Structure 1
Amino acid sequence: MDRWQRKAGIAGIETIMTFHNARMIGDPLSTWGNMTDNPVQDMAREVNRMCKPDFMLNVTLNREKEITAVFVGELFEAHNRGCAFAKEHAMLRCDERFDVVITSNSGYPLDQNLYQAVKGMSAAHKIVKEGGTIICAAECRDGLPNHGNYAEILQMRKTPQEILDMINDPSFKIFDQWQVQKQAVIQVWADVYVYSSLPDEDVEKAMFKYTHNIGQTLAQLKERYGEEMTVAILPLGPLTIPYVEE
């Protein structure tokens, strides 16, 4: 029983808040596909060395969400093999950033609410130009959602930059702040439109712009960026990892 309790403690509230604090989430090395000097990865490995699991099983998926490979065995060795496979099959280097990136949250159930859809926006953030535009298509049948602290935190300040300043204050600690932090970083960098089933007012409360027709929005953006506007499409959203070497 003692051994089980120690292992269950890996997912305790205090541990979750530490893994997701503003410094950890805001570190530029805490990002998609990076295993080198990533503070979140480093902490995860440190925790698991202290209370090492006996066995690990991870899988990778394709666009149909079918299992493409299975990685089992000793924790670090199996995880390293899985990361290498994902890098080869799910990561794509882009030569430069794009004016506009259209993304999704890979469909149901991942796009169940706006909180989750931030993950698709985060993937797009990796390759959109500063001052560019992200268009995220996500159904969000579960709303913002109404549970959790996501919607409440968004209402605490009036702009994304003010949200970031609030969360970066060491005295600020609220469950779910990490997703709001990620969202605010994206919104400070680029405009974000949301195509969803959400009421327009809910989209605006989250400080996004709404669109009911992606084609029309692209036509309007062409007036802003010009005829040479560059566009990238991420149909699988966070299940792909585009990146630009900078």
Structure 2
Amino acid sequence: HYYAGFSGGAKAILPGVSSEPSVVKNHELMRDPAATTGNLKSPVRLDMEDAARIADLDFILNTVLNSQKEIVLSTAGDFIKAHRVGAAAVDRMYRRYVEPAEIVVSCAGGRPKDLNLFQAQKALDNAKNAALPGGTIILLAECCEGLGHPAFERWACEASSAEDCWERFGREYEFGGHKAAFLARESMEHHLILVSSMPRDKVEMCFMNPAKTLDEALAMAKARQGKDARMLVMPYGNLTLAVGKRASAHGSWP
């Protein structure tokens, strides 16, 4: 999960059956730099687990799925211990340590995972650590439904720049707007290209560069990064979490 670390576990309580104010307060914690994919100590997850203790949650049943939506593991019992067993299985399956490259190609996973950019953004977030600073990330996602959330579209439309959108996120929170902010932040660190059916102006509004085909996107990336640039491909970008080897060597990974 791109800001709760992992799905499952205490999420059954918060946000699962919690009030809207509680959910909003919890989600506001995604602004913390430690609220990242694969981090069991994400402040969002820790807050969820505090809520589960208050609610006296005493049993969970979680499953781990493969790319074909088949159950490969079931884990049940204590909401911390059972969840950690599932998280470890997910790590073994989907966490990959890589040498960051100049160009990264990430696929959102096809229908229905790429119906809109709101959903497809997860594949971009999973790929960010595979790209060198200033590198290019190409996201393949049809996005036939466009952005997929009114607040997402409004925040992107109202932003005068990526910096403006990210600064707004630092002082106010609105669910949906966070997607625009995350894309804005990523565009300040990497050159983003979206291969989709979205209109050019909508893509550019979301701080990304539009391309109609992968060939076109690769040509754009190589023109920027050099014809001999290293490339990494993530065919299951919605599932695979890339972790830079250099980052892990310095202890900044979860």
Mean Cα deviation higher: 76-85 or 220-229: 220-229
Residues 220-235 of structure 1 mapped to structure 2, 5 A cutoff: 220-235=220-235
Structure 2 residue aligned with 1:26, among 9, 27, 31?
A: 31
Contact 2:135 2:190 in 1 (8 A): yes
Q: Which amino acid is the alignment partner of residue 64 of structure 2? A: T
Asked whether 1:151 is paired with 2:153, we answer yes
Give, in angstroms, the shift of residue 174 of structure 1: 2.2
Structure 1 Cα separation of the partners of residues 16 and 105 of structure 2: 39
Q: Which amino acid is the alignment partner of residue 168 of structure 2? A: M
Residues 101-120 of structure 1 mapped to structure 2, 5 A cutoff: 101-120=104-123
Match of 1:16 in 2: 23
Contact 1:104 1:136 in 2 (8 A): yes
Match of 1:202 in 2: 202
Residues 108-187 of structure 1 mapped to structure 2, 5 A cutoff: 108-145=111-148, 147-169=149-171, 172-187=172-187
Match of 1:3 in 2: none
Give, in angstroms, the shift of residue 192 of structure 1: 1.0
SS at match of 1:155: helix
Structure 1 Cα separation of the partners of residues 187 and 240 of structure 2: 21
SS at match of 1:11: coil
Distance 1:190 1:8, change over 3 A: closer
Distance 1:71 1:228, change over 3 A: same
Which segments of 5 or more consecutive residues in structure 1 lack a partner in the other structure? 1-5
Structure 2 Cα separation of the partners of residues 17 and 106 of structure 1: 28
Distance 1:233 1:9, change over 3 A: closer
Distance 1:209 1:47, change over 3 A: same
Structure 2 Cα separation of the partners of residues 153 and 73 of structure 1: 41
Give, in angstroms, the shift of residue 163 of structure 1: 0.3
Match of 2:3 in 1: none
Structure 2 Cα separation of the partners of residues 79 and 144 of structure 1: 32
SS at match of 1:126: helix
Contact 1:57 1:71 in 2 (8 A): yes
SS at match of 1:179: helix
Contact 2:192 2:208 in 1 (8 A): yes
TM-score by length of 2: 0.85
Give, in angstroms, the shift of residue 194 of structure 1: 0.9
Structure 1 Cα separation of the partners of residues 14 and 181 of structure 2: 29
Give, in angstroms, the shift of residue 7 of structure 1: 8.0
Match of 1:83 in 2: 87
Which segments of 5 or more consecutive residues in structure 2 lack a partner in the other structure? 1-12
Give, in angstroms, the shift of residue 9 of structure 1: 7.8
Contact 2:197 2:212 in 1 (8 A): no
Give, in angstroms, the shift of residue 10 of structure 1: 4.6
TM-score by length of 1: 0.87
| Deviation by residue 1:19-58 (Cα, 9 ceiling, x = unmatched) | 222xx223332111111x3211211111111113343122
Structure 2 residue aligned with 1:60, among 64, 84, 87?
A: 64
Structure 2 Cα separation of the partners of residues 31 and 116 of structure 1: 17
Mean Cα deviation higher: 128-137 or 222-231: 222-231
Give, in angstroms, the shift of residue 11 of structure 1: 3.0
| Deviation by residue 1:71-128 (Cα, 9 ceiling, x = unmatched) | 222211110100111111111111x311111112222222121111111110111221
Structure 1 Cα separation of the partners of residues 196 and 220 of structure 2: 19
| Deviation by residue 1:138-192 (Cα, 9 ceiling, x = unmatched) | 11122212x43110111121211110111111xx232322222222221111111
Structure 1 Cα separation of the partners of residues 162 and 15 of structure 2: 35
How many correspondences in the alignment? 234
Distance 1:197 1:93, change over 3 A: same
Contact 1:25 1:182 in 2 (8 A): no
Give, in angstroms, the shift of residue 133 of structure 1: 0.9
